[in-house]
C-alpha cells in the first residue's frame, strides 16, 4: 500500500495527522492551564474568602443554608433573584424557538435546557433530523456565495464578512449588553464557530430590556454569519489539502530523481 524508498521508515499519513492532532490539543491544554490557572487559583481563594465573610455577616446562616441558597440559583429557569416579581419563566414561545435554533445549528448555549424526560427525548429526535437539514441549507447558501472565485474578489468578500459579522455586531453587543470589546468579539466567534460555551449569551439577561429588533437581528446574524464562516473554514481545509498534495508531489519528484 505504501511505496517507500529502501532504508526509510514508512509512517502512514493518518498516524502523522493523529500525532499532530493530539499534540495540538495538548499544547492548547498547556496554554489554557498557564493562562487561566493562576487566575483560577486567585478566583477560588477570593470566593472562599467571600464565603467566610458571608458566614460572618449573616450569623444565622450555616453550611446547610449556604448550600440551599446556592441550589436555588443553580437551577437555570431564567429566574432573576433581583426582582421580586417573576416573569413567566424562560419557556415562552419566542425563547423556545431560539432554543430550537440553537439545537439545529449545534450551537447549544445551554443557558437553558430541557429538564423533563419528554423534552430530552424530543430534543434527541429533533436534532437527529434538524442538524442534517441545517447543513443542507447552509451548504446551499454557501454555494450561492462561491460565485466570487478570483483572489481579489475573495479577499473583498472576506473583509466584508469580517466587518459585517464581527465588527458591526461587536459595536451593537457592546452597547446592548455592556460587554468589553474583547468579550464581544469572543462572543461573536464562539457563537459563529458553533462552540457556544454559553458564558456570554446575548438577549438573555433577565435584568435588561432589549429593543424589539434585537432578537431578529441576532437570528439573521447567526444564520448568515455561520454560512460565511463555514465557507471560510471550508477554504482553509481546501488550502491545507492543496498544501498536502503539493508536498506529496515534491516528495515524489525527489524520489524519482
Show the CA angle centred on residue 191, arms to residues 190 and 196, nearest 5°. Answer: 70
Q: Which of 3, 7, 11, 17 binds a second copy (CB under 8 A)?
A: 17
By CB under 8 A, tell whether 222 contacts a second copy: no
Q: Which does 54 bind (CB under 5 to 8 A by kind): K ion, a second copy, none?
A: a second copy
Q: Which does 137 bind (CB under 5 to 8 A by kind): a second copy, K ion, none?
A: a second copy
Q: Which of 1, 3, 5, 116 binds a second copy (CB under 8 A)?
A: 116
By CB under 8 A, tell whether 159 contacts a second copy: no
Q: For the chain, what is the HEC assignment?
A: CCCCCCCCCCCCHHHHHHHHHHHHHHHHHHHHHHHHHHHHHHHHHHHHHHHHHHHHHCCCCCHHHHHHHHHHHHCCCCCCCCCCCCCCCCCCHHHHHHHHHHHHCCCCCCCCCCCCHHHHHHHHHHHHHHHHHHHHHHHHHHHHHCCCCCHHHHHHHHHHHHHHHHHHHHHHHHHHHCCCHHHHHHHHHHHHCCCCCCCCCCCCCCCCCCCCHHHHHHHHHHHHHHHHHHHHHHHHHHHHHHHHHHHHHHHHHHHHC
Q: Which of 4, 11, 48, 171 binds a second copy (CB under 8 A)?
A: 48
Near K ion in 194-223, by CB under 5 A: 196
Q: How far is the CB of 54 from a second copy (least distance, A)?
A: 6
By CB under 8 A, tell whether 142 contacts a second copy: no
Near a second copy in 55-74, by CB under 8 A: 57-61, 65-70, 72-74
Q: How far is the CB of 111 from K ion (least distance, A)?
A: 10
User: Taking each helix axis from N to C terminus, what angle separates 213-256 and 168-177, rounded to the nearest 10 degrees?
Assistant: 140
Q: How far is the CB of 147 from a second copy (least distance, A)?
A: 13
Q: How far is the CB of 194 from K ion (least distance, A)?
A: 5
By CB under 8 A, tell whether 217 contacts a second copy: no
Q: How far is the CB of 219 from K ion (least distance, A)?
A: 17
As a whole number of angstroms, the distance between CA 79 and CA 90 comes to: 8
By CB under 5 A, tell whether 108 contacts K ion: yes
Please choose, out of 3-11, 54-62, 152-160, 248-256, the segment that lies near a second copy by the rule CB under 8 A: 54-62
Q: Which residues bind K ion (CB under 5 A)?
A: 108, 196
Amino acid at each position: 500500500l505504501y511505496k517507500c524508498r529502501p532504508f526509510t521508515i514508512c509512517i502512514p499519513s493518518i498516524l502523522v495527522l493523529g500525532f499532530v492532532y493530539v499534540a495540538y490539543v495538548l499544547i492548547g491544554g498547556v496554554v489554557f492551564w498557564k493562562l487561566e490557572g493562576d487566575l483560577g487559583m486567585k478566583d477560588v481563594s477570593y470566593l472562599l474568602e467571600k464565603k467566610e465573610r458571608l458566614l460572618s455577616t449573616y450569623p444565622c446562616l450555616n453550611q446547610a443554608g449556604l448550600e440551599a441558597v446556592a441550589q436555588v440559583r443553580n437551577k437555570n429557569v431564567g429566574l432573576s433573584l433581583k426582582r421580586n416579581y417573576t416573569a413567566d419563566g424562560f419557556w415562552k414561545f419566542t425563547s423556545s424557538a431560539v432554543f430550537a435554533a440553537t439545537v439545529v445549528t449545534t450551537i447549544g448555549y445551554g443557558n437553558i435546557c430541557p429538564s423533563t424526560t419528554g423534552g430530552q427525548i424530543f430534543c434527541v429526535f429533533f436534532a437527529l433530523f434538524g442538524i442534517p437539514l441545517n447543513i443542507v441549507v447552509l451548504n446551499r447558501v454557501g454555494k450561492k456565495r462561491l460565485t466570487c472565485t478570483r483572489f481579489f474578489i475573495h479577499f473583498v468578500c472576506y473583509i466584508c464578512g469580517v466587518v459585517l459579522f464581527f465588527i458591526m455586531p461587536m459595536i451593537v453587543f457592546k452597547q446592548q449588553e455592556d460587554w468589553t470589546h474583547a468579550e464581544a468579539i469572543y462572543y461573536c466567534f464562539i457563537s459563529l464557530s458553533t462552540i457556544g460555551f454559553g458564558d456570554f449569551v446575548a438577549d438573555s439577561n433577565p435584568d435588561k430590556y432589549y429593543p424589539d429588533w434585537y432578537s431578529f437581528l441576532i437570528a439573521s446574524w447567526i444564520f448568515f454569519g455561520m454560512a460565511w464562516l463555514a465557507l471560510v473554514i471550508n477554504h482553509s481545509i481546501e488550502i491545507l489539502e492543496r498544501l498536502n498534495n503539493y508536498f506529496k508531489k515534491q516528495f515524489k519528484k525527489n524520489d524519482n530523481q
